[in-house]
Amino acid sequence: MVFSGLSQRLQGIIGKLRGRGRLSETDVKDALKEIKLALLEADVNYKVVKEFIANLQQRCMGSEILNSLTPGQQVIKIVRDELTSLLGTSASSLNFAKGKSVFMLAGLQGSGKTTTTVKLARMLKAKGKKPVVISLDTYRPAAVDQLEIAAVNAQIDSYRPGGFKPIELAKNALAWTEKSEHDCLLFDTAGRMHLDEALMEELLQIKALIQPVEIILVLDAMTGQDAVNIAQGFAERGLADSVILTKLDSDTR
Protein backbone atom coordinates (compact mmCIF):
# COMPACT_ATOMS: atom_id res chain seq x y z
CA MET A 1 0.00 0.00 0.00
CA VAL A 2 1.10 3.55 -0.73
CA PHE A 3 3.00 5.11 2.20
CA SER A 4 2.10 2.09 4.32
CA GLY A 5 5.48 2.01 6.08
CA LEU A 6 5.19 5.65 7.10
CA SER A 7 1.54 5.50 8.06
CA GLN A 8 2.07 2.41 10.21
CA ARG A 9 4.90 4.11 12.01
CA LEU A 10 2.91 7.28 12.59
CA GLN A 11 0.00 5.26 13.87
CA GLY A 12 2.33 3.55 16.32
CA ILE A 13 3.67 6.85 17.61
CA ILE A 14 0.38 8.67 18.07
CA GLY A 15 -1.40 5.50 19.15
CA LYS A 16 0.68 5.63 22.32
CA LEU A 17 -1.03 8.92 23.20
CA ARG A 18 -4.53 7.56 22.71
CA GLY A 19 -6.52 7.11 25.88
CA ARG A 20 -3.97 8.87 28.05
CA GLY A 21 -5.59 10.87 30.82
CA ARG A 22 -2.84 13.43 31.14
CA LEU A 23 0.01 14.43 28.89
CA SER A 24 3.04 16.36 29.98
CA GLU A 25 4.91 18.72 27.68
CA THR A 26 7.67 16.12 27.58
CA ASP A 27 5.24 13.42 26.36
CA VAL A 28 4.18 15.65 23.47
CA LYS A 29 7.74 16.74 22.70
CA ASP A 30 8.88 13.11 22.58
CA ALA A 31 6.06 12.18 20.25
CA LEU A 32 6.86 15.11 17.96
CA LYS A 33 10.50 14.09 17.89
CA GLU A 34 9.51 10.59 16.83
CA ILE A 35 7.18 11.94 14.15
CA LYS A 36 9.99 14.14 12.84
CA LEU A 37 12.35 11.17 12.60
CA ALA A 38 9.72 9.02 10.88
CA LEU A 39 9.13 11.70 8.24
CA LEU A 40 12.84 12.31 7.64
CA GLU A 41 13.50 8.60 7.29
CA ALA A 42 10.64 8.42 4.79
CA ASP A 43 12.60 10.94 2.66
CA VAL A 44 10.26 13.87 3.26
CA ASN A 45 12.04 17.14 2.50
CA TYR A 46 13.73 18.64 5.56
CA LYS A 47 12.14 22.07 5.13
CA VAL A 48 8.69 20.50 4.91
CA VAL A 49 9.30 18.44 8.05
CA LYS A 50 10.62 21.44 9.99
CA GLU A 51 7.59 23.56 9.18
CA PHE A 52 5.21 20.68 9.84
CA ILE A 53 6.67 19.97 13.28
CA ALA A 54 6.70 23.69 14.17
CA ASN A 55 2.98 23.88 13.32
CA LEU A 56 2.24 20.80 15.40
CA GLN A 57 4.25 22.09 18.31
CA GLN A 58 2.40 25.39 18.29
CA ARG A 59 -1.00 23.73 18.19
CA CYS A 60 -0.28 20.91 20.65
CA MET A 61 1.48 22.78 23.43
CA GLY A 62 -1.40 25.08 24.38
CA SER A 63 -2.63 24.70 27.95
CA GLU A 64 -6.18 23.99 26.77
CA ILE A 65 -4.86 20.84 25.07
CA LEU A 66 -2.51 19.66 27.79
CA ASN A 67 -5.04 20.31 30.58
CA SER A 68 -8.00 18.83 28.75
CA LEU A 69 -9.58 15.56 29.83
CA THR A 70 -8.66 13.83 26.59
CA PRO A 71 -5.33 15.37 25.56
CA GLY A 72 -4.23 12.27 23.62
CA GLN A 73 -7.31 12.38 21.39
CA GLN A 74 -6.82 16.08 20.73
CA VAL A 75 -3.18 15.67 19.77
CA ILE A 76 -4.12 12.83 17.41
CA LYS A 77 -6.75 15.04 15.78
CA ILE A 78 -4.25 17.89 15.35
CA VAL A 79 -1.67 15.56 13.76
CA ARG A 80 -4.33 14.23 11.39
CA ASP A 81 -5.52 17.75 10.44
CA GLU A 82 -1.99 18.96 9.79
CA LEU A 83 -1.10 15.86 7.73
CA THR A 84 -4.23 16.34 5.64
CA SER A 85 -3.46 19.97 4.95
CA LEU A 86 0.17 19.07 4.14
CA LEU A 87 -0.88 16.49 1.56
CA GLY A 88 -3.52 18.80 0.09
CA THR A 89 -7.25 18.73 0.50
CA SER A 90 -8.48 18.96 -3.07
CA ALA A 91 -8.32 16.33 -5.78
CA SER A 92 -6.98 17.48 -9.13
CA SER A 93 -8.38 16.25 -12.39
CA LEU A 94 -7.37 16.52 -16.02
CA ASN A 95 -8.14 19.60 -18.08
CA PHE A 96 -10.08 19.16 -21.28
CA ALA A 97 -10.14 21.30 -24.41
CA LYS A 98 -13.28 22.43 -26.25
CA GLY A 99 -12.41 20.30 -29.26
CA LYS A 100 -10.07 17.33 -29.11
CA SER A 101 -8.05 17.27 -25.91
CA VAL A 102 -4.36 16.66 -26.53
CA PHE A 103 -2.20 15.32 -23.70
CA MET A 104 1.55 14.94 -23.86
CA LEU A 105 3.46 12.74 -21.43
CA ALA A 106 7.08 13.60 -20.75
CA GLY A 107 9.81 12.69 -18.30
CA LEU A 108 13.07 10.90 -17.67
CA GLN A 109 13.96 7.54 -19.21
CA GLY A 110 12.10 4.71 -17.57
CA SER A 111 9.93 6.91 -15.36
CA GLY A 112 6.77 5.14 -16.52
CA LYS A 113 5.49 7.36 -19.38
CA THR A 114 4.40 4.56 -21.69
CA THR A 115 2.68 2.61 -18.91
CA THR A 116 0.98 5.76 -17.63
CA THR A 117 -0.16 6.78 -21.13
CA VAL A 118 -2.19 3.58 -21.36
CA LYS A 119 -3.42 3.83 -17.76
CA LEU A 120 -4.69 7.35 -18.41
CA ALA A 121 -6.35 6.28 -21.65
CA ARG A 122 -8.09 3.49 -19.78
CA MET A 123 -9.32 5.92 -17.16
CA LEU A 124 -10.60 8.28 -19.87
CA LYS A 125 -12.32 5.45 -21.70
CA ALA A 126 -14.05 4.38 -18.49
CA LYS A 127 -15.35 7.95 -18.23
CA GLY A 128 -16.92 7.66 -21.67
CA LYS A 129 -14.20 9.46 -23.65
CA LYS A 130 -12.70 8.16 -26.88
CA PRO A 131 -8.95 8.12 -26.32
CA VAL A 132 -6.19 7.11 -28.72
CA VAL A 133 -2.55 6.65 -27.76
CA ILE A 134 0.29 7.62 -30.09
CA SER A 135 4.01 7.07 -29.55
CA LEU A 136 6.48 9.76 -30.63
CA ASP A 137 9.42 7.76 -29.30
CA THR A 138 11.74 7.20 -32.25
CA TYR A 139 14.80 6.78 -30.03
CA ARG A 140 14.33 3.50 -28.24
CA PRO A 141 13.85 0.51 -30.52
CA ALA A 142 10.55 -1.23 -29.78
CA ALA A 143 9.14 1.76 -27.90
CA VAL A 144 6.33 2.08 -30.44
CA ASP A 145 5.60 -1.64 -30.24
CA GLN A 146 5.56 -1.45 -26.44
CA LEU A 147 2.85 1.20 -26.44
CA GLU A 148 0.84 -0.64 -29.06
CA ILE A 149 0.97 -3.95 -27.20
CA ALA A 150 0.02 -2.32 -23.91
CA ALA A 151 -2.85 -0.55 -25.67
CA VAL A 152 -4.14 -3.76 -27.24
CA ASN A 153 -4.02 -5.50 -23.86
CA ALA A 154 -6.01 -2.67 -22.31
CA GLN A 155 -8.41 -2.51 -25.27
CA ILE A 156 -7.36 1.02 -26.11
CA ASP A 157 -6.99 2.38 -29.65
CA SER A 158 -3.50 3.24 -30.79
CA TYR A 159 -2.18 4.84 -33.94
CA ARG A 160 1.22 4.43 -35.56
CA PRO A 161 2.04 7.46 -37.70
CA GLY A 162 4.61 7.33 -40.49
CA GLY A 163 7.85 9.31 -40.32
CA PHE A 164 11.30 9.21 -38.82
CA LYS A 165 11.57 12.19 -36.47
CA PRO A 166 9.20 12.78 -33.54
CA ILE A 167 7.98 16.03 -35.09
CA GLU A 168 7.13 14.25 -38.38
CA LEU A 169 5.28 11.55 -36.48
CA ALA A 170 3.36 14.20 -34.57
CA LYS A 171 2.39 16.02 -37.79
CA ASN A 172 1.19 12.83 -39.43
CA ALA A 173 -0.69 11.77 -36.32
CA LEU A 174 -2.50 15.12 -36.11
CA ALA A 175 -3.56 14.84 -39.74
CA TRP A 176 -4.99 11.39 -39.04
CA THR A 177 -6.74 12.31 -35.78
CA GLU A 178 -8.48 15.25 -37.47
CA LYS A 179 -10.65 12.73 -39.24
CA SER A 180 -10.82 10.10 -36.51
CA GLU A 181 -13.58 9.91 -33.93
CA HIS A 182 -11.19 10.20 -30.97
CA ASP A 183 -11.66 13.11 -28.59
CA CYS A 184 -8.60 12.54 -26.37
CA LEU A 185 -5.18 12.21 -28.00
CA LEU A 186 -2.44 10.95 -25.71
CA PHE A 187 1.09 11.43 -27.01
CA ASP A 188 3.81 9.33 -25.40
CA THR A 189 7.29 10.82 -25.83
CA ALA A 190 10.84 9.46 -25.53
CA GLY A 191 12.52 9.70 -22.15
CA ARG A 192 14.86 12.66 -21.66
CA MET A 193 16.84 14.47 -18.98
CA HIS A 194 15.81 18.03 -18.21
CA LEU A 195 19.49 18.94 -18.63
CA ASP A 196 19.60 17.75 -22.24
CA GLU A 197 19.02 21.03 -24.07
CA ALA A 198 18.64 19.50 -27.53
CA LEU A 199 15.98 17.04 -26.40
CA MET A 200 14.18 19.70 -24.36
CA GLU A 201 14.13 21.92 -27.45
CA GLU A 202 12.64 19.03 -29.41
CA LEU A 203 9.90 18.70 -26.79
CA LEU A 204 9.17 22.43 -27.12
CA GLN A 205 8.77 21.98 -30.87
CA ILE A 206 6.39 19.06 -30.38
CA LYS A 207 4.44 21.15 -27.86
CA ALA A 208 4.15 24.07 -30.32
CA LEU A 209 2.82 21.69 -32.96
CA ILE A 210 0.36 19.54 -31.03
CA GLN A 211 -0.67 22.28 -28.55
CA PRO A 212 -1.47 20.02 -25.62
CA VAL A 213 -4.14 21.09 -23.16
CA GLU A 214 -1.90 19.52 -20.55
CA ILE A 215 1.69 18.31 -20.45
CA ILE A 216 1.93 15.60 -17.83
CA LEU A 217 5.33 15.09 -16.30
CA VAL A 218 5.77 11.48 -15.27
CA LEU A 219 8.10 11.06 -12.30
CA ASP A 220 9.36 7.88 -10.69
CA ALA A 221 8.64 8.08 -6.95
CA MET A 222 11.87 6.18 -6.32
CA THR A 223 13.78 9.25 -7.56
CA GLY A 224 13.14 10.67 -4.10
CA GLN A 225 13.78 14.34 -3.54
CA ASP A 226 15.56 14.81 -6.87
CA ALA A 227 12.08 14.62 -8.39
CA VAL A 228 11.63 18.25 -7.31
CA ASN A 229 14.66 19.36 -9.34
CA ILE A 230 13.46 17.40 -12.35
CA ALA A 231 9.99 18.92 -12.06
CA GLN A 232 11.51 22.40 -11.82
CA GLY A 233 13.66 21.71 -14.89
CA PHE A 234 10.62 20.78 -16.96
CA ALA A 235 8.30 23.40 -15.48
CA GLU A 236 10.60 26.36 -16.03
CA ARG A 237 10.63 25.55 -19.76
CA GLY A 238 6.85 25.31 -19.82
CA LEU A 239 7.07 21.54 -20.22
CA ALA A 240 5.10 20.39 -17.18
CA ASP A 241 1.55 21.41 -16.32
CA SER A 242 0.94 18.54 -13.96
CA VAL A 243 2.82 15.65 -12.43
CA ILE A 244 2.07 11.95 -12.06
CA LEU A 245 4.19 9.97 -9.61
CA THR A 246 4.66 6.35 -10.62
CA LYS A 247 5.93 3.30 -8.76
CA LEU A 248 4.49 4.40 -5.44
CA ASP A 249 3.68 0.71 -5.08
CA SER A 250 7.32 -0.29 -5.25
CA ASP A 251 8.58 1.60 -2.22
CA THR A 252 6.67 1.43 1.02
CA ARG A 253 8.39 4.44 2.55
Please state the closest distance from residue 26 (CB atom) to ligand GTP, in A. 42
Distance CA 210, CA 208 (A): 6
Pick one of ligand GTP, Mg ion, none as the site partner of residue 112 (Cβ within 5 to 8 A by kind): ligand GTP
Give burial (CB, 10 Å; 0-12/13-18/19+) of 129.
middle
What character string, x for contact with ligand GTP (CB under 6 A) and - otherwise, covers 188-207?
---x----------------
Closest distance to ligand GTP from the beta carbon of 150 (Å) = 8
- Minimum gap (Å) between residue 127 Cβ and Mg ion: 24
Give least dist CB 61 to ligand GTP, A.
40
Identify the DSSP state of 87.
H
Q: Which of residues 55-84 bind ligand GTP (CB under 6 A)?
A: none
111 binds ligand GTP (CB under 6 A): yes
Give yes or no for residue 137 binding ligand GTP (CB under 6 A). Answer: yes
Q: Which residues, other chains included, contact 147 with Cβ-Cβ below 8 Å and sequence gap of 6+?
A: 114, 117, 118, 133, 134, 135, 137, 158, 188
Report the partner that residue 194 touches, choosing among ligand GTP, Mg ion, none (CB closer than 5 to 8 A by kind). none
Task: With beta carbons less than 8 A apart as the criterion, state whether 74 and 56 touch.
Answer: no
Would you say 90 or 250 has its CB closer to ligand GTP?
250
Binding site for ligand GTP (CB under 6 A): 107, 109-115, 137, 140, 143, 191, 246-247, 249-250
